[in-house]
């Protein structure tokens, strides 16, 4: 048994010495230029993915453009309505902002506001608002009128006055 132990120890020391000698010897190294591979792969992916990305963004803009145009046009119409209504309230005698208007004064304010819109508002905005009739309806909706006022006795005379001009 001791003989087996001595042989095992001798064999182990011989192998470990050989293993240390092998590790100590310089090994030839292989250099892989992986940085160049990454750069070329990135260039290739950019060439493939950039047109796809541009197509996706263009498609998204194409889908959103009608809604954006609608929102911008609607806000422009609201701005126009407020501006011509404020002008008309200042231009018509007996009318004031925040004051309840009588039927004749309300009709005069509507007519004056529509005339102002026709004079200064771009044709596209006026057409988007529904022309003179549409602008008159918008102004009518924004005015604070007395209780008996309605479209028949306030809006209709204003539209008739506009068509007579």
pLDDT band at 12; cut points 50, 70, 90: low
Cα angle value 79/124/122 (rounded, 5°): 65
Residue 103 is encoded by which pair of tokens? 């039927």
> Which of these ranges, 29-38, 129-138, 139-148, has the smallest mean pLDDT?
29-38
Sign of the torsion formed by the C-alpha atoms of 33, 34, 35 and 40: positive
Q: Give the span between the Cα atoms of 35 and 41, in whole angstroms.
A: 10
Under 8 Å between Cβ of 116 and 84: yes
pTM > 0.85? no
Q: Could you tell me which of 105, 162, 109, 104 has the C-alpha nearest to residue 133?
A: 162
Q: Where do runs of H (alpha helix) occur along the chain? A: 2-24, 34-91, 103-120, 123-128, 131-142, 156-164
pLDDT value at position 59? 87
For 55-114, the pLDDT digits (tens) are 999 888 888 878 777 777 888 899 999 999 999 999 999 888 888 888 899 999 999 999
Under 8 Å between Cβ of 155 and 110: yes
> Bigger pLDDT: 164 or 39?
39
């Amino acid at each position: 048994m001791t003989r087996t132990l001595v042989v095992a120890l001798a064999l182990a020391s011989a192998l470990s010495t050989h293993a240390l000698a092998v590790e100590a010897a310089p090994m030839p190294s292989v250099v892989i230029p992986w940085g160049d591979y990454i750069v070329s792969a990135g260039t290739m992916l950019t060439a493939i993915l950039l047109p796809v990305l541009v197509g996706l963004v263009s498609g998204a803009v194409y889908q959103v453009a009608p809604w954006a145009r609608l929102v911008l046009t609607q806000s422009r119409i609201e701005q126009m309505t407020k501006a011509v209504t404020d002008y008309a309230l200042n231009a018509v005698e007996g009318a004031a902002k925040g004051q309840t208007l009588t039927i004749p004064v309300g009709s005069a304010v509507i007519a004056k506001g529509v005339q102002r819109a026709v004079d200064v508002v771009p044709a596209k905005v006026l057409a988007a608002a529904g022309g003179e009739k549409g602008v008159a309806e918008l102004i009518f909706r924004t005015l604070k009128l007395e209780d008996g006022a309605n479209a028949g006795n306030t809006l209709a005379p204003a539209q008739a006055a506009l068509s007579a001009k």
